[in-house]
Chains A and B, each alone.
Chain A
Amino acid sequence: MLIKKIFFTIVVLTFSTVNAGIKIEHWLTADGAKVYFVENHDLPMLDISISFKAGSARDTLKDNGIASLTNHLMLLGSGGVDEVDLANQFTDIGAQLDSSFDQDKSSFSLRTLSEKKDKAIQLFNLVLHKPDFNGEVITREKKRYFASIRQGETEPSSIASKAFMKAIYANHSYALPESGTVETLESIDQLQLKEFYNNYYLSNQSSIVIVGDVDIAVAKNIASNLSAGLPNNPNTSFYSKVEIANPQEIKIQHPSSQAHLYYGGAVIKRGDPDFFPLYVGNYILGGGGFVSRLTGEVREKKGLVYSVYSYFMPMLELGPFQVGLQTKKDQIDEALTLVKETVKGFIQNGPTEKELEAAKSNMIGGFPLRLDSNKKIIQYISMMAFYNYPLDYLDTFANQVNDVTIEKIKLAFQKRVDMNKFSTVIVGVE
């Protein structure tokens, strides 16, 4: 958990590759689910994940929180098997069920020993095909949501990130808090949750990834059964387009000792042709941890922060470019000025030849680290599958990185990173 902070940017934008030595099989099921499969018998275990376009971007102002609540309740009772029984059945065979959620997607994953896979998969299918959305459980879990939302309203980092999304996304659903609000969650009932599930947990909009100790025939069977039990609807909808919001400067008081800063705007979608120059450029600007310019200027030279970073987060619609840091309150103006100068200097002049070479050599040379466990492989390929990356993405990654030049980075940053449109949020002003 602690390590994550510094590596955050690397994790978010982790999609690299040089000849991975990883063979991905790909097909569609009869019900239209995309399937990606990596066979690997080194360990007697199997990982399966499935993702749906059912993130908080599906929320509206009126029902904000419904996507998150649906994702959460999926694990709490299915097909008449109550939450306790269900959880115990997984535990009794040593299988692990998990879910994750963000603006774009709702995902579920299973990890099981090979020898227990039949039972584990049967349970996993039950969870995905027949969620109960039990009334009492809804009431109880809503209370927990309320508590967590109200708690978040007292925490500077949570206040800051909500304010930032609101500032850069205005009326788009990306602006809505992922977990919703007390007011909107209050009225959500079982019927709405079922409807949400039926509308968006669609086989024909799902991506399934299977990694581990089965052969392709078995994998095909697993994927068919998994997708066959899901709702299906050919009339699929997509998330609405982002309109760039007017820049804002938001300052919020808080009794904390540090001020929290977020700076940036909506910039990039998945599949953007400028992705590689922006990605490599950002490694140099603020994504490369200790060796990035922002860390050099704000932390190493001045000692103003413990952590400062920047990242591009490409999403189905325009995702953010964002700089973040925390510093003692009376240093926040100095830190913000330094951030702006550093970003501005980078946009104007791009990286040096030496910086670019170091970046490429890190990304290409460090490629094997990104896929050195089944867990990392399934996470990586799930991302590729959900966002429709080409199948040869892993094989062409090194070339794509290699093709980036100083000029291309400058051009991409000048075209895409417009500081005049960026918003600033500071929580913890005096």
Chain B
Amino acid sequence: MHLFKLLFLLILTPYFAVAEVHETTLANGMRVLVKQDSRSPVVVSQVWYRAGSIDEVNGKTGIAHVLEHMMFKGTKSSKPGQFSEIIAAAGGRENAFTGADYTCYFQQLEKSQLPVALKMEADRMQNLVITEKEFNKEINVVMEERRWRTDDKPTSKVNELMQSLAFVSHPYGRPIVGWMDDLENMNYADAQEWYDDWYAPNNAILVVAGDVIPSDVFKLAKKYFENIPSRQIKSRKPQIEAKQEGVRRASLKAPSKLSYIQMGYKVPALNKDLKQDSADIYALEVLAGILSNTSTSRLNQNIVNEAGLAVSASASYAMLTRGGLSLLELYATPSEGVDVLTVEKALKDEVAKIVEFGVTDEELNRIKTGVIASDVYQKDSVFYQGMQIGQLETMGYPHQLMDQYTNKIKAVNSKQVQAVAKKYLIDEKLTVVTLDPQPLDPNHKPQGRPHAH
């Protein structure tokens, strides 16, 4: 049971297959998408809910993820943990993850076992039982998860601060795992409320990929899901981010030897209406690739290898989001003895060089070659194929977007990359968070002693 913030980064090098996605919509509004891949006798089943931390309200941050944990705690006809036992005994693997934009539950099984997974997902979509007793135990597990994932990891804390500083009125500012204080004050009624608000068939998508026949999957989906009544889903407020009017900065102290810097430029995400002009978006995608796709991309080559200013440097951009906006981010770990401001300047200089001189044909071709090769390589994973369909559709993009991607990337030229760097990578859109490393307690000593029997 996991939360997945960066999963949508997978889409940075998308797989754009020709193979068809088969689709139907059940009478209650639940959509079913099937991708056939007969290379191995396996199947992956994923139920995606359009409910993530983006839908939470202040004071209840983390509830989307907490509910994900509670989904394993039993239904009217099953005991806590019983689903996991059933899937394991069927030879399967299962888990779930929560992101800003969605929550997903999945099972991987030998192909004949698909009905086991569907029956179980249909049951917990409508019959979940959330007791105070189970909730009070599980909330402690989630708090341990937060400690492990964020509180004791300095770079995770930097990232959390980065999001909350960059997004003031947009819900992307809130951590997916939730603030600790909100978790401490959460109760089982909050979880029930979340379940009642969002867990309905008309707010869910079933994706099945693997060695299956689409019409068979549709029949099974009808059998298990179609009798679940649809419900009115509450309307969502737009929550558009307030205009940023200057650079935002913060620093954070944590035990660490090395410093760290994360810089985020506010940039748009791809419009859900694919007829809108998307040239900027694909140019940003290529820009991020040229900065950091491989070991010889600009950030690593110039800042790490040649100047020796950092031990690592990279960039990322999530071009697809449900929330309608995104960040193009730069990250670096300064070398020992190098000031973090020097590294910030080096990162900005790399952007400035692109603004001034553009990029080379060689660089553009490398990005394009990589995308074309990825088309093939990513077909190797059935799970990934399902994942991609589910992410796109849950975020609000048609999965047919996949068919356009390679050509859109191929069409990007140096002038466009230059133009988006100039337009978006400016101080008025920038948030910078740095890690101010603190020594561990200098008094700490190992206290070893032989074991006494």
Residues of B413-453 whose CB lies within 8 A of A:
437, 440-441, 443-451, 453
Residues on B with beta carbons closer than 8 Å to the beta carbon of A303: 136-141, 144
> Is A163 interfacial (CB-CB < 8 Å)?
yes
In the complex, the answer to whether A92 meets B366 with C-beta atoms within 8 Å is yes
Q: Contact: A252 with B444, CB < 8 Å?
A: yes
Is A29's CB within 8 Å of the partner chain B? no
Bound-state Cα–Cα, A138 to B447, Å: 36
On chain B, the residues within 8 Å of A113 by CB distance are 373, 376
Contact at A374–B335, with CB atoms within 8 Å? no
Number of B interface residues in the complex (CB < 8 A): 83
In the assembly, what is the distance between CA of A288 and CA of B111, in Å? Answer: 21
Cα–Cα, bound, A288→B380 (Å): 26
Proximity bits, A272-311, B CB within 8 Å = 1, else 0: 0000000000000000111100001001111111110000
* Residue among A163, A253, A290, A328 making CB contact with B147, cutoff 8 Å: A328
Q: How far is the CA of A328 from the CA of B141 in the complex (A)?
A: 10
CB <8 Å contact, A368 and B40: yes
B84 within 8 A of A: yes
Interface check A326, CB cutoff 8 A = yes
| Min CB gap B412→A, angstroms | 17
Chain B positions 303-343 with a Cβ under 8 Å from a chain A Cβ: 304-305, 308, 311, 333, 335-336
| A residues 106-150 touching B (CB-CB < 8 Å) | 111, 113, 140, 143-144, 146-148, 150
CB distance from B336 to the nearest CB of A (A): 5
| Interface membership of chain A positions 353-370, coded 1 if the CB is closer than 8 angstroms to chain B and 0 otherwise | 000011001111111110
Contact of A326 among B91, B109, B144 (CB under 8 A): B144
For residue B261, give the distance in angstroms from its CB to the closest CB of chain A: 15
- B444, A369: Cβ atoms closer than 8 Å: no
| Closest chain B CB from A60 CB (angstroms) | 23
Q: Are B91 and A2 in contact (CB under 8 A)?
A: no
Most B Cβ at <10 Å: residue of A91, A248, A364? A91
Interface-side segment among B49-57, B160-168, B275-283, B293-301: B293-301
**B357 interfacial by beta-carbon distance below 8 Å:** no
Which A residue's beta carbon lies closest to that of B39?
A42
**Stretch binding the partner chain, chosen from B92-100, B124-132, B229-237, B389-397:** B92-100
Q: Which residues of A contact B145 (CB under 8 A)?
A: 306
Residues of chain B contacted by A271 (CB below 8 angstroms):
none
**Interfacial chain B residues near A367, Cβ < 8 Å:** 91, 110
In the bound complex, residues from chain B placing their C-beta under 8 Å from that of A253 are: 441, 443-445
Return chain B residues, CB-CB under 8 Å to A146.
336
Residues from 178 to 215 in B contacting A, C-beta threshold 8 Å: none
- A291, closest chain B residue (CB): B88
With A113-B376, A369-B108: A364-B91 Cβ-Cβ less than 8 Å? yes
Collect the chain B residues with CB atoms within 8 Å of residue A154's CB: 255-257, 437, 440
Whether the Cβ atoms of B89 and A362 lie closer than 8 Å is: yes
Verify B148–A306 contact, CB threshold 8 A: yes
Question: Interface-forming stretch among A221-229, A254-262, A405-413?
Answer: A254-262
Tell whether, in the assembled complex, residue A258 and residue B90 are in contact, meaning their CB atoms are under 8 Å apart: no
Since A87-B296, A151-B257, A249-B451 are in contact, a sample of 14 more A-B pairs with Cβ atoms closer than 8 Å, ordered by chain A residue number, is A92-B369, A111-B377, A147-B311, A247-B451, A249-B449, A256-B151, A304-B140, A305-B141, A305-B144, A362-B88, A362-B91, A372-B42, A373-B39, A373-B381
Query: Can you give 26 contacting A-B residue pairs, CB < 8 Å?
Result: A2-B4, A7-B93, A10-B93, A45-B376, A84-B305, A87-B294, A87-B295, A92-B365, A92-B366, A113-B373, A147-B333, A151-B257, A250-B447, A252-B446, A255-B440, A255-B441, A358-B89, A362-B88, A364-B91, A365-B113, A367-B91, A369-B92, A369-B108, A372-B42, A374-B380, A420-B453
Interface residues of B (CB under 8 A from A): 2-4, 39-42, 72, 80-81, 84-85, 88-95, 97, 108-111, 113, 136-145, 147-148, 151-152, 255-258, 293-296, 301, 304-305, 308, 311, 333, 335-336, 362, 365-366, 369-370, 372-374, 376-377, 379-382, 437, 440-441, 443-451, 453
Q: Using CB atoms and an 8 Å cutoff, list the residues of chain A in contact with chain B.
A: 2-3, 5-7, 10, 21, 42-45, 83-84, 87-88, 91-96, 111, 113, 140, 143-144, 146-148, 150-151, 153-154, 156, 163, 246-258, 288-291, 296, 299-307, 326-328, 357-358, 361-369, 371-375, 420, 423, 429
